Structure 1
Amino acid sequence: MSTTTSHTPGPEGPPRPVRLIQNEATTEIPVHLLFRDEPEPVSVPPRPAVVGRRQGTGEQPRLRRPAPEKARHAPQVDPALVERPARVLPGAVGVFAGACGVAGGLATTWWAGALPPLAVQALGLPSYTGAGLGPAQWAAYAGAGALGLFGFGGLARVRTGRASVLGLFGRYRGTVRRTGLMWVNPLLLRRRVDVRLRHWRSDEMPAADASGVALRVAVLVVWRVRDTARATLGVEDHERYLRECVEAALARVPVETHGSGRGCVDAAGEALTRLVAGDTAPVGIEVFSVRPSLVEYAPEVADAMQRRRIAALDAQHRATALTSVVDSVEDTVTRLTMRGLVELDDYERKALVKDLTVAFCAGRAEATS
């Protein structure tokens, strides 16, 4: 590397020398450009003049930014599988079509002459000897039967709080949320779904607290089906999927016992609700709350935790009793000394404190027993 000096003319006065760095691998670079104090733009990073690092240029290696961690995504189903209303007709249309089919069958029977005389008189039809059962009569029978079957076979009654998911040859054709009597294409497969607000109380499931102690937890889940198409066709069994999501959430969220405070239990319920709602939303299930209704220790650790709790309560009781006795002794000695009832030196004071402590502890033990 060699350093040369060139002269750059200034705006006023004689030209000033400018130092340059030059070697066989680089071009001439002014020295003052390597140590500029000018602030660089924040929004757009400067583009380096040299892409790779070359020996002898003094260029620093380019630092690569760490790739961002991939965010956890909820399970996805077919984006085209979204609930949409199905095409149905009022129930009166089906009743009318079925009645027309029955009337057509009776008329064809009268036309063929197979209708009994009593039926002819009851229906008020004119007497007719009949043309017999020929191809025309059989075709009329087929048409009337098909009309009657389609008319009465397509009648459906949807109750309040229920919905019917319709499909044809494995393809989703829509959802019926209307209530009452209506006519649906009888070729469509119907699946009834309960869309009411529902609650489910689980059996005791395994869980753990923040310390890793095994627990048995029962939760109360309030939920409903929001998208019938995804709930029915997106998963095999949406109720079973909900139960498994609750079990998975309990394995990830530590649950504290009711003795730890109401705030801990509420915080666990909010975390469970958030996790379960995020896992079940893609399959059309809306979860409102997941609250622990029963929290107890597992049978294998229940006895040990009970003994530990009793020991902690006993130690707390002893500490409280000792604090009360010490305060009482201090108050008694202070009053006796300040009122001038006794004059005590250090030895006498210690003896009095000892006697009062023993007396107060004995009296508290007798009162407790």
Structure 2
Amino acid sequence: MTEKTTWKGNGFIGLLLFLLLTGGGIYAFVVEWIVVGILAETAALVLLTMFTVVQPNEAKVITLFGDYKGTIRDSGIWLTVPFSGRKKVSLRVRNFNSVKLKVNDVEGNPIEIAAVIVFRVVDSAKALFHVDNYKQFVEIQSETALRHVASKYPYDNFELSGYSLRGNADEVGGELLRELQERLKAAGVEILEARLTHLAYSTEIASAMLQRQQAAAIISARQMIVEGAVGMVQMAIQQLQQQGVIELDDERKAAMINNLMVAIVSDRAASPVINTGSVY
């Protein structure tokens, strides 16, 4: 079942016709045209059941004795199928903020995660007749999809390869949107945006994972310092040899390399020692 357009007539013309039938029926009763008066008033009552008002960004789903007749999307006052049922469906854009879910990432670490889902109804027939409650359906499927996506990635990527929840929020949000759209198309709902609003380690491992992040940052910094120090030492020795400032044998070269590496890599400032020769 998909949405279709039903018949509708101008409501203002119908209102004028209703007034004419009502007035004509009253006049017929006054002049004792009983049959004409009954027919006119009956027609006016039937016409009264055909009026419906549609607000902007709203749809009215028309059913008659359990049969879906169609949907009216245009705002205003309209005439439609008499004695029909009308159910209102909002077409406005809506936000759904998920609760903070506790899930395990791909490495098994417990994390807290939440997201905001922006959606709207694009098929009123599916929203009313394919699912029991489309709002509740969106909430449950959003939390289910969020759990599934969160379990596919690590919270943080210490190896600097591949995606992570913290480092690739846009890509994770895009995958969440695509999965949600696939899950919710049966309810006639379009997902406009899906974004992570909360991401953190669970309280029981938060301190330990913080120490791990700090250790990884220290190791990365040390690695960069060592690589820079090696380059500086190589450049210094090459320039000394090219300019002929000093001739270094292997032993003195090793001692210079050791001194330069200690001075550059050390956390503390170097304290130079000046050799003035022997004192007797």
State yes or no: 1:359 paired with 2:274.
no
Alignment deviations for residues 127-154 of structure 1 (CA, whole Å, 9 cap, x no partner): xxxxxxxxx86x8876565444443453
Q: Is the 8 A contact 2:64 2:83 kept in 1?
A: yes
Query: In the TM superposition, what is the alpha-carbon distance from 1:211 to its structure 2 partner?
Result: 2.0
Q: Is the 8 A contact 1:225 1:284 kept in 2?
A: yes
3-state DSSP class of the match of 2:4?
coil
Which residue does 1:72 correspond to in 2? none
Which residue does 1:304 correspond to in 2? 208
Alignment deviations for residues 297-316 of structure 1 (CA, whole Å, 9 cap, x no partner): 33333322222111110111
Alignment deviations for residues 220-275 of structure 1 (CA, whole Å, 9 cap, x no partner): 43433232111111111112212222222223222455874898444433432332
Counterpart of 2:114 (choices 210, 213, 218) is 218
Structure-1 separation of matches of 2:37 and 2:229: 105
Structure-2 separation of matches of 1:274 and 1:304: 34
Change (3 A) 1:350 1:199: same
Alignment deviations for residues 101-140 of structure 1 (CA, whole Å, 9 cap, x no partner): 441464367558xxxxxxxxxxxxxxxxxxxxxxx86x88
Sequence identity (%): 27
Q: Is the 8 A contact 2:50 2:80 kept in 1?
A: yes
Which residue does 2:5 correspond to in 1? 85
Q: Is the 8 A contact 1:100 1:147 kept in 2?
A: no
Q: Is the 8 A contact 2:96 2:139 kept in 1?
A: no
Which residue does 1:20 correspond to in 2? none
Which residue does 1:191 correspond to in 2? 87
Q: Is the 8 A contact 1:227 1:285 kept in 2?
A: yes
Counterpart of 1:160 (choices 52, 56, 59) is 56
Structure-1 separation of matches of 2:148 and 2:83: 46
Moved more, 305-314 or 295-304: 295-304
Matching residue's letter, 1:179: S
Which residue does 1:245 correspond to in 2? 141
Bigger Rg, which one: 1
Q: Please tell me the root mean square deviation across aligned C-alpha atoms, in Å.
A: 3.3
Which residue does 2:276 correspond to in 1? none
Matching residue's letter, 2:142: V
What's the TM-score, normalizing by structure 2?
0.76
Structure-2 separation of matches of 1:109 and 1:268: 73
Structure-2 separation of matches of 1:184 and 1:103: 22
Counterpart of 1:176 (choices 65, 72, 81) is 72
Alignment deviations for residues 181-211 of structure 1 (CA, whole Å, 9 cap, x no partner): 1123452221111234545443433444332
Change (3 A) 1:263 1:317: closer
Moved more, 174-183 or 290-299: 290-299
State yes or no: 1:280 paired with 2:184.
yes
Unpaired segments of 5 or more residues in structure 1?
1-80, 113-135
What's the TM-score, normalizing by structure 1?
0.60
Counterpart of 2:250 (choices 322, 346, 349) is 346
Which residue does 2:230 correspond to in 1? 326
Size of the aligned set, in residue pairs, is 262
Matching residue's letter, 1:271: E
Which residue does 1:130 correspond to in 2? none
Change (3 A) 1:206 1:142: farther
Structure-1 separation of matches of 2:2 and 2:10: 24
- What pairs with 1:1-369 in structure 2 (closer than 5 Å)? 81-104=1-24, 106-107=26-27, 110=30, 146-185=42-81, 187-253=83-149, 254-255=152-153, 257=155, 260=164, 264-362=168-266, 365-366=268-269
Unpaired segments of 5 or more residues in structure 2?
158-163, 271-280
Structure with higher RCO (Cα < 8 A, 6+ apart): 2
Which residue does 2:275 correspond to in 1? none
Q: Is the 8 A contact 1:97 1:150 kept in 2?
A: no
3-state DSSP class of the match of 2:6?
coil
Q: Is the 8 A contact 1:94 1:150 kept in 2?
A: no
Change (3 A) 1:171 1:298: farther
Structure-2 separation of matches of 1:160 and 1:274: 29
Structure-2 separation of matches of 1:105 and 1:298: 75
Which residue does 1:60 correspond to in 2? none
